[in-house]
């Protein structure tokens, strides 16, 4: 990875962008992608779209989502402790002893997830932490002191963990789901520009908001763009680490390449074009099967309007929705390359219908 790209990746991942409050991360992303696009627009809720060839009638989307899971302050005790609600699929099981940032109009307030010491618990009766039992300690001794800090019900809370590299092969941090996707589609736009590639269609590079609470940003922007084709990238579960059941999770591994999904929302001809692209360019890939839905923004695009030929290229990831989400750097490179090469094989007016 070139140094400038790696610097952006770190900066972008370290910046908090909780669901519904993605603005600052979106600004970073837009600043990075601006040299590689012709124009851009931002919708009402913060989805950012960079456009190449905006006058073209045929429209192709490449998309990732920008938001990360987080918490809202929900209740403040008279002693100054904070209880929370989840914003997206936050996992209270990983919360105890973690450090967090509380976002206020006065700036960041530091806090920790407290937990009773092992000495005073009846360990044999321990139960897993839940959203009802985890709490934050911001160093205050009263509700009034909490208020003076600028904290109130509705204040957003994110983990403060930042990007690291593990054994020179893995990128680790919070919110790789799915800002690493935003990084990859931005790199595709850069590669098209720097390699002098002219596409025969309009390309819409979409960094969507609010995926973590139901694909909402993608729903909105799909109706606005009304594309003909959409290639979505998100993360999927590496199933090699302990406690995964391959019979249900599939056999997916970090380091073995992009994951191409089969499922009702995935348009077969577009998927096959992507597979053929991978085979022709010798990009390693894996396969996965979805059930009724992929659970990603693919579903929102596929079923928008009169139907959009959509496909999903996933990045294998360990430890999803924790603060140590982990991906292999080779997979990041190969997902980026596969999206790039697939775009070069889509024609103007490409008809993906199964028959006519």
Q: What is the per-residue DSSP string for 184-233?
A: HHHHHHHHHHHTT---SSEEEEEEES--TTTSHHHHHHHHHH--SEEEEE
Are the C-beta atoms of residues 136 and 149 closer than 8 Å to each other? no
Using CA atoms, how far apart are residues 219 and 19, in angstroms rounded to an integer?
Answer: 15
Instruction: Tell me what the mean pLDDT of segment 236-240 comes to.
Output: 97
Query: What is the pLDDT at residue 236?
Result: 98
What is residue 110's predicted lDDT score, i.e. its pLDDT? 98
Residue 280: per-residue pLDDT = 98
Task: Determine whether 211 is an active site residue.
Answer: yes
pLDDT band (50, 70, 90) for residue 245 = very high
C-alpha distances (whole Å) from 157 to each of 86, 104, 124, 289 are 9, 9, 31, 34
- pLDDT at residue number 22: 97
The 3-state DSSP class for residue 28 equals helix
Nearest-angstrom CA–CA distance, 356 and 347 = 18
3-class secondary structure, 235: strand
User: What's residue 284's pLDDT?
Assistant: 98
**Cα(1)–Cα(7) distance, integer angstroms:** 10
Residue 339, CA distances (Å) to 91, 131, 281 in order? 31, 38, 12
* Measured distance CA(139)–CA(112) in Å, rounded: 9
φ, ψ for residue 184 (rounded to 5)? -65, -40
Question: Considering the entire predicted model, what is its pTM?
Answer: 0.96
Mean pLDDT of 214-224: 97
User: d(Cα 185, Cα 189) in Å, to the nearest integer?
Assistant: 6
Cis peptide before 178 (omega within 30 of 0): yes
- The structure tokens 């090699």 sit at 240
The Cα 270–Cα 74 span in angstroms is 44
Q: What is the DSSP string of 256-297?
A: S--EEEESTTS-HHHHHHHHHHHHHHT---EEEE-SS--SSH
Q: How far apart are the first and last CA of the chain?
A: 43
Q: Percentage of the chain surpassing pLDDT 90?
A: 99
- Interval 284-340: pLDDT, tens: 999 999 989 999 999 999 999 999 999 999 999 999 999 999 999 999 999 999 999
Question: What pLDDT, in 10s, does the model give residues 6-56?
Answer: 999 999 999 999 999 999 999 999 999 999 999 999 999 999 999 999 999
- The pLDDT confidence band at residue 128, using thresholds 50, 70 and 90, is very high
Could you tell me the pLDDT band of residue 264, with boundaries at 50, 70 and 90?
Answer: very high
pLDDT band at 233, cuts 50/70/90? very high
Name which of 297, 298, 296, 330 is nearest 316 in CA terms.
330
* Residues 178, 123 contacting (CB under 8 angstroms): no
Q: Are 229 and 61 in contact (CB under 8 A)?
A: yes
Selecting among 68, 211, 212, 325, the annotated active-site residue is 211
Q: What is the pLDDT of residues 76-126, one digit of tens each?
A: 999 999 999 999 999 999 999 999 999 999 999 999 999 999 999 999 999
């Amino acid at each position: 990875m070139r140094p400038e790209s790696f610097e952006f990746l770190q900066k972008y991942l370290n910046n908090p962008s909780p669901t519904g409050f993605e603005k600052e991360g979106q600004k970073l992303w837009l600043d990075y992608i601006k040299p590689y696009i012709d124009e851009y627009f931002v919708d009402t809720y913060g989805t950012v779209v960079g456009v190449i060839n905006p006058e073209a009638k045929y429209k192709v989307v490449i998309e990732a989502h920008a938001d990360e899971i987080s918490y809202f302050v929900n209740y403040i005790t008279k002693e100054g402790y904070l209880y929370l609600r989840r914003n997206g699929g936050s996992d209270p099981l990983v919360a105890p002893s973690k450090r967090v940032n509380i976002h206020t109009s006065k700036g960041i307030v530091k806090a920790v997830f407290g937990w009773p010491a092992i000495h005073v618990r009846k360990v044999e009766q321990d139960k897993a932490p839940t959203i009802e039992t985890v709490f934050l300690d911001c160093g205050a001794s009263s509700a009034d002191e909490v208020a003076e800090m600028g904290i109130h019900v509705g204040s957003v809370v994110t983990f403060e963990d930042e990007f690291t590299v593990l054994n020179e092969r893995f990128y680790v941090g919070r919110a790789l789901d799915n800002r690493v996707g935003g990084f990859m589609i931005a790199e595709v736009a850069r590669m098209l520009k720097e390699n002098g590639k002219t596409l025969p269609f309009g390309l819409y590079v979409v960094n969507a908001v609010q995926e973590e609470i139901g694909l909402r940003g993608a729903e909105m922007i799909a109706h606005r763009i009304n594309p003909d084709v959409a290639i979505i990238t998100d993360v999927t579960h590496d199933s090699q680490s302990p406690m995964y059941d391959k019979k249900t999770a599939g056999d997916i591994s970090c380091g073995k390449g992009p994951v191409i999904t089969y499922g009702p929302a995935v348009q077969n001809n577009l998927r096959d074009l992507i597979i053929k692209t991978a085979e022709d360019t010798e990009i390693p890939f894996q396969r996965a099967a979805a059930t009724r839905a992929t659970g990603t923004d693919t579903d929102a695009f596929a079923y928008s309007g009169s139907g959009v030929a959509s496909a999903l290229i996933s990045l294998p990831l360990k430890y999803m929705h924790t603060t140590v989400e982990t991906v292999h750097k080779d997979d990041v490179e190969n997902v980026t390359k596969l999206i790039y090469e697939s775009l070069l094989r889509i024609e103007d007016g490409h008809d993906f219908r199964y028959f006519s």
